[in-house]
């Protein structure tokens, strides 16, 4: 299960999506997420799915690698679907004892499942196609106007970048600790919920110790290199929009136009 978590990992490839400006991918991901919650009809979700399929094809990230990232949220997905399926009031479709399934519940559960899947895949594509350094530069540049109201833009972007960078490192560390504890007789699979929760204690303690040690080493390394925040810092490769970035923005405008037209038709 630990190896199936792909959030925050970068997949190297030579694609047009990888070469886009990180500001385009950040804003595009935000626009796509908003569209999933702004429109609630079948035509809109078909357009969103087709748009996502095109982006996946252009990114050259294997579909099997993308789908693998959905396994850790499978329980959350099933819980959300079942919750909406059985507790949404409306016209009765099936009744088994005191359990009632409504037509509105089926529709809501289906839309919720599709929305969560598209949300996870769309968000993951941003990290798959953007290195942590580019992501930091894109966040800092995109939030640049907030400096006028004394928001520490560079520090916020740096913290988010470090957090994303630590995700695969901590996952790898967790996998190593689980294997080491399993070799010593620890059992993480069998038993009830309480027993599984107790079995995580030998895993969490060394994981927290390792995380704090890595954080302390990183802080000492940054201090040794005289890091003092973003004031006065320059960029080796400053971000600049190119033709393909403006084409990408145009594609998002066309995407939203199609969604609005689909909503009016329905």
pLDDT in tens, 107-157: 888 888 888 888 888 888 888 888 877 888 888 888 778 878 877 887 788
43-73 confidence digits (pLDDT tens): 888 999 999 999 999 998 888 888 877 777 7
Alpha helix (H) residue ranges in 14-152:
22-38, 42-59, 63-68, 74-87, 103-128, 132-142
Three-point CA angle 12, 17, 22, nearest 5° = 90
Residue 188, pLDDT > 70, answer no
- What are the tens digits of pLDDT across the range 82-107? 877 777 777 777 777 667 777 777 88
Residues 217 and 249 in one domain: no
Whether residue 1 is predicted with pLDDT greater than 60 in this model: the reply is no
* C-alpha to C-alpha distance for 172 and 211, rounded to whole angstroms: 12
Residue with tokens 């079948």: 42
The domain tally of the chain equals 2
Q: Are residues 121 and 8 in the same domain?
A: yes
Per-residue pLDDT, 7: 62
**Higher pLDDT residue, 261 or 167?**
261
Q: Confidence band (pLDDT; 50, 70, 90) for 246?
A: very high
Q: What is the pLDDT of residues 2-37, one digit of tens each?
A: 455 556 677 888 889 999 988 899 899 999 999 988
Q: Do 116 and 205 belong together in one domain?
A: no
In this prediction, residue 40 carries a pLDDT of 80
Q: How confident is the model at residue 197 (pLDDT cuts 50, 70, 90)?
A: low
- What is the predicted pLDDT for the residue at 47? 92
- Give, in degrees to the nearest 5, the angle at Cα 207 between 221 and 227: 15
Distance CA 252, CA 220 (A): 43
The reply to whether 228 and 183 lie within a common domain is: yes
Q: Is the pTM of this model over 0.85?
A: no
What is the rounded CA–CA span in Å between residue 261 and residue 263?
A: 5
- In this structure, the answer to whether residues 9 and 116 fall within a common structural domain is yes
pLDDT at residue 230, rounded to an integer? 64
Is residue 136 assigned to a domain?
A: no
Residue at 137 is within a domain: no
3-state DSSP call for residue 93? strand
Residue 199 shares a structural domain with residue 120: no
147 Cβ contact list (under 8 Å, min separation 6): 153
Q: What is the DSSP secondary structure assignment for residue 146, as one 8-state letter?
A: G
Provide the β-strand partners of residue 102: 92
d(CA 116, CA 114): 6
Find where tokens 């594509």 sit. 125
What SS3 class is residue 263? helix
Distance CA 175, CA 85 (A): 35
**Same domain for 109 and 181:** no
Mean pLDDT for the chain overall: 81
In a domain, 145, yes or no: no
Question: Residue 89: which residues within 8 A CB-CB, separation 6 or more?
Answer: 102, 104
Taking residues 186-207, report their average pLDDT: 71
Where is average pLDDT lowest: 38-47, 142-151, 215-224, 245-254? 142-151
Domain containing residue 58: 1-130+238-266
Say if residue 122 is in the same domain as residue 199: no
Copy the structure tokens of residue 140.
Answer: 């800092």
Distance CA 257, CA 229 (A): 41
């Amino acid at each position: 299960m630990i190896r199936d978590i792909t959030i925050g990992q970068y997949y190297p490839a030579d694609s047009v999506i990888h070469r886009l400006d990180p500001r385009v991918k950040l804003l595009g991901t935000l626009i796509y997420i908003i569209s999933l919650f702004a429109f609630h009809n079948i035509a809109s979700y078909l357009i969103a799915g087709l748009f996502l399929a095109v982006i996946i094809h252009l990114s050259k990230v294997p579909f099997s690698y993308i789908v693998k990232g959905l396994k850790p949220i499978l329980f959350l997905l099933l819980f959300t679907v079942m919750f909406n399926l059985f507790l949404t009031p409306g016209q009765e479709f099936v009744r088994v004892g005191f359990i009632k399934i409504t037509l509105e519940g089926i529709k809501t559960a289906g839309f919720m499942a599709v929305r969560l899947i598209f949300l996870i895949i769309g968000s993951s594509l941003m990290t798959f196609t953007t290195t942590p350094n580019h992501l930091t530069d894109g966040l800092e540049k995109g939030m640049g106007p907030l400096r006028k109201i004394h928001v520490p833009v560079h520090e916020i972007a740096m913290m988010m970048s470090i957090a994303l960078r630590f995700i695969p490192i901590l996952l790898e560390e967790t996998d190593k600790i689980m294997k080491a504890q399993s070799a010593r007789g620890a059992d993480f699979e069998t038993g009830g919920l309480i027993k599984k929760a107790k079995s995580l204690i030998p895993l969490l303690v060394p994981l927290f110790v390792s995380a704090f040690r890595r954080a302390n080493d990183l802080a000492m390394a940054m201090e040794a290199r005289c890091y003092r925040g973003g004031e006065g810092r320059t960029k080796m490769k400053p971000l600049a929009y190119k033709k393909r970035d403006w084409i990408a923005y145009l594609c998002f405008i066309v995407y939203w136009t199609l969604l609005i037209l689909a909503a009016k038709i329905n």
